Structure 1
Amino acid sequence: MRTIRMLLLAACGTCLGFIQPTQAQNSVQTVTLQSVEDSFLVKNYLLLAQRYQIDASKALVRQAKMWSNPSFSTVLGFGSTDKLKPFNVGSGGETQYNIDQLIQTAGKRNKAIQLAATATKMSEANFDELIRTLRLQLRENVYNIYYQQQTEKVLKEQLGNLQTIVDAYVTADKKGSVAHADLVRLQALQVGIENDFADLKQQELESQKNLQQLLHSQDFYAADIKPADLAPYTLDKIQLPQLLEAASKNRADVRMADLQYQTAQLNYRLQKSLAVPDLHVGATYDKQGSYVNNFVGLTLGIDLPVWNRNQGNIHAAKLQINSEQQQLLQQQSVAQTEVLNAYQRIVVLEKRYKGFDLHQFQGEFDTLIAEVSKNFSKGNISLLQFIDYFNSYSDNAKNINKFLSNRVNAYEELNYATGQELFKN
């Protein structure tokens, strides 16, 4: 029986490192957060597509600056009703040429240019919004992978040590030197930890899948996060009122709503200008169909706004301004609410983080496990008590890493809510 206890003590002693680095498999690529972000910016298909959209919008601005093409028409003589002479354009025939240029009035062309320029800004804001959303997903998955893998190391190490203990108990059980019920309890503990490891592995695979989709890669990743990478995550020097004000003005989705409002205003001015008739200016040449041969004249034309003065479009554009204004106010309110909630979440987590030294606690827990092992080897505690402590060790690792993951992701959500990079080295 003492031999079994010594095996337990030796196995438990190897667990005390809490998180020991293990070599990654060859199929796993070790990456830093910065390297992942650099790859993301050049590989993500959605970002590449949105860049093309920005270029397309800029091309439409150039198009809006162009003048309308002149129109040309001709009349070719066919004789008269008394005597048809198709294409009679010779010395005794008739030809006529007309050229016409549309001159837009009431600043229609400039207003169309302004609308196209606003559409370009909208495409750029869409790009920023896409980056804002995808960067949050990217960082959350990188941090999730890191902390999940840290917990996996603990559980994997525990399973290896526990397997050694179970094997020893199986041998001792065959010899009748241990109670069979003790073996069953250890095997139940083993099954529980294996289930925890399998569940955690599924969570990591989900994070891996999300990261692979963002990077369009089939590689698996091991995140390399240094303490210096986590150091900037603090609320020191962060002022909530300034964050609320900045988010209500500068966040990409708020800028998009503001640009929609500006577009509605520009469209209203454009629709009003469309009620003003455009001018047609041109020239005409008539070989011999006028009162003099080789007649040359200036042509002027204008539409008469008798029935259609664009009344419906003007009224609709005016109502659209009111609609977009309310949408802008709504988006500003949403942005401020998200910032406030993200900030308060960090405040709650930081109270626990600062009021409870996790690293010190882990060291004390390691010492406790060592003392438990010594007392078990001396027969001062039962197997059930030892199993309880052994099980608590894995729970402690899971809870701590989950808390640390939640904390850093809460800071990233504040980045997302404000649309700013608040926490940089």
Structure 2
Amino acid sequence: MNVYYKMGIYLSLLFVTSILSEETKMAQASEALRRQLTDENPRTSLGSSLYPDDQKFSKDIDLETAETLLWKNNLLLIASRFQIDVKKAGILQAGLYANPNIAIDQSIFAEPTQRYFDTTRSGQSVIQVQQVFLLGGKIDKRVKVAELNAKISEQEFYDLTRALITKLRRTFYTIYFYKKAVVFYDQSIASIEKTVESSELAYKRRALLQAEHLRLKALLFFLKKEREDLAIKVYEKEAELKILLNDDAYRDARVEFAPKINEKQLDSIVPNNVKLEELVEIARENRPDLKKALQTLRYEEANLELQYANAIPDLSFGPVYNRGGTAFQNYWGVTAQLTVPLFDRNQGNIQAAEKAILVRKQELKNNILEVENEVAVAYQSARIKDALYKRFIDAYIKDYSSLSLDMIMSYEKKYITILEFADFFETYRSSVVEMLKLQTDRMEAIENVNYAVGKGIFIPKSENQTTPKSEE
């Protein structure tokens, strides 16, 4: 984007030449502008502060570092990890046996001895111990249901990760390109302000028409307003990024981000290199929400098995000791208790579980259909915006460069007025901003493909960069 900055400086300085009465100064300025278009100038730093407050400062950050901080510090991800631990604790609970039940029966008043709460051999005491035995494999089925519930929670975590990673990348690219636009506005405003000051003096000397002077002031006001609106958007996006990263190094409100991106790597992304059918297949294998829907179906199937097992009554079994309450002074026996499933055979819960399976099957089919169409839409959008960007990025800049030189020659020969230069600058400004917006939209469309597929297919990253992975 070096040409943008060169052309911005070039056109802004061109306005200064329009109010100079000396032919030599205008010729020198024109020659300097021609040199700017041909010389290689270093790119303006993106780390410059967007705000006039001297206390603000920028910090460099690349996408790989940002994603690492997201995985480490994001509060929503941390909370989701704890939620997985909660569900895994349910597996432990589901596998526990029931506690034994101990019952003690002690007589209040012993008639023969005329004693209260007589615990001696002359009194009556009964001790009974019972253990509940779950029949029908209830414990194993409960554990299976709890395990599937934990897997559902894991897929919710990966789905949340997918959303947050996509949001991070979109925000990162938006800040980068918005800041480039702000730099362009800053350069243009600085030059236009000098032009307006010079035109003010020229207007007082009656060397410049009032209409031309007001047009320049209106252009300056419009640029400042657009710049401030864009700066506010940058500030909002930076606040979103700070929340996502949750890192002490960037938490201070005075910190500004200076995203580091290799644009050549971005331009090397070609959505057409992958076929739609391949993306759909990858989405079926990697989308966490599809895996969650599948796990939910398995959960309902396991729950149906558990409900059938719950229809089987449990057995309570244990010893009993009775002293002084039977024909024998010390009586030992066993007790067994079993509920007869005469009326309640868990019919309602079984029927509800059967219907829930039908519901989950239809939801899974609908989710698959939604994923296929979501991938198709994201893929076509990325292809269109990528083609539009690459069709105009080179020829577009070259056309404006040659046109700018023609405008210089036309103005030097008095073929056009300063108002025509102002119209050209407005068109140029709009074109530069729209091109930056197209770059932002293109990367958002590419990230939409990654989100729809559930895997980082089109990502400019190093080999050791962490990407979200789903588990079966």
TM range (shorter): over 0.9
Corresponding residue to 2:342 among 306, 318, 334:
306
Query: Structure 1 residue 159 and structure 2 residue 183: aligned?
Result: no
SS of the aligned residue for 1:268 comes to helix
Corresponding residue to 2:451 among 401, 409, 416:
416
| Equivalence for 1:337 | 373
- Contact 1:141–1:210 (Cα < 8 Å) also in 2: yes
Count of residue correspondences = 424
- Contact 2:107–2:124 (Cα < 8 Å) also in 1: yes
Letter in 2 for 1:397: V
* CA apart distance, 1:18: 11
Corresponding residue to 2:430 among 382, 395, 414:
395
Which whole-Å CA distance do the structure 2 matches of 1:330 and 1:148 have between them?
Answer: 38
Query: Structure 1 residue 279 and structure 2 residue 303: aligned?
Result: no
- Contact 1:138–1:214 (Cα < 8 Å) also in 2: yes
SS of the aligned residue for 2:316 comes to strand
Corresponding residue to 1:140 among 170, 193, 213:
170
Letter in 2 for 1:243: L
Which whole-Å CA distance do the structure 1 matches of 2:220 and 2:125 have between them?
Answer: 102
Q: Which moved more, 1:295-304 or 1:75-84?
A: 75-84
| Equivalence for 1:379 | 414
| Equivalence for 2:306 | 270
- Contact 1:373–1:386 (Cα < 8 Å) also in 2: no
* CA apart distance, 1:12: 6.0
**Residues 2 and 380 of structure 1: is their aligned pair in 2 closer, same or farther, counting only changes over 3 Å?**
farther
Q: Equivalences for 1:1-150 in 2 at 5 Å? A: 1-3=20-22, 5=26, 9=30, 20-21=44-45, 23-25=47-49, 26-79=56-109, 85-150=115-180
Which whole-Å CA distance do the structure 2 matches of 1:128 and 1:232 have between them?
Answer: 28
Corresponding residue to 2:242 among 198, 212, 218:
212
Which whole-Å CA distance do the structure 2 matches of 1:373 and 1:93 have between them?
Answer: 120
- Contact 1:18–1:366 (Cα < 8 Å) also in 2: no
Query: Structure 1 residue 184 and structure 2 residue 222: aligned?
Result: no
Which whole-Å CA distance do the structure 2 matches of 1:232 and 1:122 have between them?
Answer: 37
Q: Which runs of 5+ in 1 are unaligned?
A: none
SS of the aligned residue for 1:24 comes to coil
SS of the aligned residue for 2:271 comes to coil
**Residues 163 and 370 of structure 1: is their aligned pair in 2 closer, same or farther, counting only changes over 3 Å?**
farther
Letter in 2 for 1:365: Y
CA deviation vs aligned residue, 1:293-330 (integer Å, no higher than 9, x gap): 33222222211112211111111111111111111111
TM-score by length of 2: 0.83
Letter in 2 for 1:150: K
Which whole-Å CA distance do the structure 1 matches of 2:59 and 2:44 have between them?
Answer: 19
**Residues 312 and 59 of structure 1: is their aligned pair in 2 closer, same or farther, counting only changes over 3 Å?**
same
SS of the aligned residue for 2:115 comes to coil
- Contact 1:97–1:284 (Cα < 8 Å) also in 2: yes
* CA apart distance, 1:360: 4.4
* CA apart distance, 1:399: 1.1
In the TM superposition, structure 1's runs of 4+ consecutive aligned residues that sit over 4 Å from their partners are 4-19, 79-84
**Residues 421 and 84 of structure 1: is their aligned pair in 2 closer, same or farther, counting only changes over 3 Å?**
farther
Query: Structure 1 residue 366 and structure 2 residue 396: aligned?
Result: no
Which whole-Å CA distance do the structure 2 matches of 1:374 and 1:28 have between them?
Answer: 41
Q: Which moved more, 1:269-278 or 1:203-212?
A: 203-212
- Contact 2:133–2:315 (Cα < 8 Å) also in 1: yes
Which whole-Å CA distance do the structure 2 matches of 1:169 and 1:28 have between them?
Answer: 35
- Contact 2:151–2:295 (Cα < 8 Å) also in 1: yes
| Equivalence for 1:200 | 230
* CA apart distance, 1:83: 7.0
CA deviation vs aligned residue, 1:16-37 (integer Å, no higher than 9, x gap): 5796335523522221111111
CA deviation vs aligned residue, 1:23-60 (integer Å, no higher than 9, x gap): 52352222111111122222221111111111111111
Which whole-Å CA distance do the structure 1 matches of 2:284 and 2:176 have between them?
Answer: 33
Which whole-Å CA distance do the structure 2 matches of 1:342 and 1:22 have between them?
Answer: 30
**Residues 295 and 228 of structure 1: is their aligned pair in 2 closer, same or farther, counting only changes over 3 Å?**
farther
**Residues 158 and 249 of structure 1: is their aligned pair in 2 closer, same or farther, counting only changes over 3 Å?**
same
SS of the aligned residue for 1:423 comes to coil
Give identity over the alignment, percent. 26
* CA apart distance, 1:144: 0.6
CA deviation vs aligned residue, 1:103-149 (integer Å, no higher than 9, x gap): 10111111110111111111111111111111111111110111111
SS of the aligned residue for 1:328 comes to helix
CA deviation vs aligned residue, 1:210-264 (integer Å, no higher than 9, x gap): 2233234333212111135425632254232132133234311112222221121
- Contact 1:249–1:332 (Cα < 8 Å) also in 2: no
Q: Which moved more, 1:269-278 or 1:236-245?
A: 236-245
Corresponding residue to 2:291 among 255, 263, 283:
255
Q: Which moved more, 1:60-69 or 1:84-93?
A: 84-93
* CA apart distance, 1:202: 2.7
- Contact 1:31–1:223 (Cα < 8 Å) also in 2: yes
* CA apart distance, 1:286: 1.9
- Contact 1:18–1:397 (Cα < 8 Å) also in 2: no
Q: Which moved more, 1:381-390 or 1:236-245?
A: 236-245
| Equivalence for 1:230 | 266
Q: Which moved more, 1:228-237 or 1:343-352?
A: 228-237
Which whole-Å CA distance do the structure 1 matches of 2:28 and 2:433 have between them?
Answer: 25
Query: Structure 1 residue 317 and structure 2 residue 353: aligned?
Result: yes
* CA apart distance, 1:2: 3.6
Which whole-Å CA distance do the structure 2 matches of 1:170 and 1:184 have between them?
Answer: 10
* CA apart distance, 1:187: 1.4
- Contact 1:15–1:158 (Cα < 8 Å) also in 2: no
- Contact 2:110–2:116 (Cα < 8 Å) also in 1: no
Letter in 2 for 1:160: A
Which whole-Å CA distance do the structure 2 matches of 1:147 and 1:86 have between them?
Answer: 90
* CA apart distance, 1:378: 3.4
